[in-house]
Amino acid sequence: MERIQVQMSMYEKLQILSDAAKYDVACTSSGVSRNGDGTGMGNCRAAGLCHSFAADGRCISLLKILFTNECIFDCKYCINRSSNDVVRTSFSPEEVCTLTMEFYRRNYIEGLFLSSGVLKSPNYTMELIYATLYRLRKVCNFQGYIHVKAIPGADEELIRRVGFLADRMSVNLELPTAEGLRLLAPHKTRKNILAPMRLVQNKMKENKQEIMMYRNAPHFVPAGQSTQMIIGATPESDYQILNVAESLYKKFDLKRVFYSAFVAVNKDKALPARSDEGPPLLREHRLYQADWLLRFYGFEAKELLDEVNPNFNLFLDPKCNWALKHLEQFPVEVNRAEYDLLLRVPGIGVKSALRIVKARRMGILQFEDLKKMGVVLKRALYFLTCNGKMMYKTKIEEDYITRNLLNTKEKLPDSVTGMTYQQLSLFDDKNFTESQVMNLTR
Ligand code: SF4
């Protein structure tokens, strides 16, 4: 039975509502340059923000809380669902402001990440969030970073008003497909989620024009919008998930899509059984790597995966995996290759590709030069020539390169010795834990 808390200290609320927020991963604070005007507290200059990440990769640099863990909805995967017997509480707008200001003064945080359960109705909750942000910005004069969740189903006007006070806004897609939503979050619909996303996108475009016309026009969601998908609660493949992400980037101008490995906190027959391996963190990691390739390396989802191979290789990062399937494009001559092709070489990142293009105007590059430019030669050496020569005598052969790439650091555990990478698929070796694989392929 639900315990009704009549009186609770702010510290007790903080314990409950920060713990309840830990499953929301969409919290990196990037891409904004709101300057303080010298009269208030804090600013968001990109260089002035620092982030730290917990061991599992989750961002912990912001005060990350729920406004309330009460919720009228009953999403099957959520610890705060209405049918769960958990202690419920809510902050007041004043309490969130006090915590943010006091933590900022003590240098504990750089900003605020505010999400919420749905209290009474989406509008009621969004009004409370608006009251909180209004007070923080206008009364407390807080000029630091604020990332806030838009509650699907809330009025457009409320979302618009909140958008003028926040730096980033996000609406969680929750599950990659409409079918997944129907199964696990029957109170939510794809339409309900995409509508506020579209609203934020349109308002951001409009706002750019306003800012060009009137220099002092207020900024609407200057750090852009993001979303989050839960991975592994429903049976979608990586290919489906990556296609959804690609389409969100293209159609809604999202700044980031966050992937959150499903954590089994509830028992429900609609959910996957709890696994001894814990949440699929390696799968989440591969999706982040692939997402990076979509956003910065010019890849398309259909180049990385397809219907025949719909999931990422457990042992190889998506770029290495792609290169091994396209050996006809390698080796690439580093002194001549186009920038776009350099970006596709494993071990060459955006910065090192730019450095190569710049430096080779001055003279012919050698492997020693590449190392200084940040190229990871232990991966790149199989795919590059410098002035027509490879770094070592090597075969351009999928199996040979794969074995060499996998043996660079650690020996494969006995459970997979003798197996080729082709015999393995995602999570098919129960004795080989995800952390072992992460270490091996890092
Ligand atoms: S609406 Fe949000 S807080 Fe409420 S049950 Fe669903 S996921 Fe949890």
What does the alpha-carbon distance between residue 410 and residue 431 come to, in Å, rounded to a whole number?
A: 16
Cis peptide before 196 (omega within 30 of 0): no
Q: How many CB atoms lie within 10 A of CB 263?
A: 18
Work out the pLDDT band at 430, boundaries 50, 70, 90.
very low
Test site for ligand 1: of 19, 24, 68, 73, most ligand atoms within 8 A of the Cβ: 73
Q: Is 88 in the pocket of ligand 1 (CB under 6 A)?
A: no
Q: Is 288 in the pocket of ligand 1 (CB under 6 A)?
A: no
Work out the pLDDT band at 108, boundaries 50, 70, 90.
confident
Which atom of ligand 1 lies nearest, measured to the CA of 82?
A: 5
Work out the pLDDT band at 48, boundaries 50, 70, 90.
very low
Q: Is 20 in the pocket of ligand 1 (CB under 6 A)?
A: no
Distance 185 CA to ligand 1 centre (A): 8
Percent of the chain with pLDDT over 70: 83
Q: Is 118 in the pocket of ligand 1 (CB under 6 A)?
A: yes
pLDDT digits (tens, 9 = 90+) for 296-330: 999 999 999 999 999 999 889 999 999 999 999 99
Distance 55 CA to ligand 1 centre (A): 25
Q: How many CB atoms lie within 10 A of CB 442?
A: 9
In this structure, which residue's CA is closest to atom 3 in ligand 1?
117
Which atom of ligand 1 lies nearest, measured to the CA of 116?
A: 3
Regarding pTM above 0.85, the answer is no
Q: Alpha-carbon torsion 167, 171, 177, 178, what sign?
A: negative
Q: Is 192 in the pocket of ligand 1 (CB under 6 A)?
A: no
In what helix (H) or strand (E) does residue 225 lie, and over which residues does it extend? strand 225-231
What does the alpha-carbon distance between residue 299 and residue 219 come to, in Å, rounded to a whole number?
A: 32
In what helix (H) or strand (E) does residue 236 lie, and over which residues does it extend? none
CA–centroid distance for 232 within its chain:
15
Distance 99 CA to ligand 1 centre (A): 24
What does the alpha-carbon distance between residue 30 and residue 150 come to, in Å, rounded to a whole number?
A: 18
Q: Are 183 and 270 in contact (CB under 8 A)?
A: yes
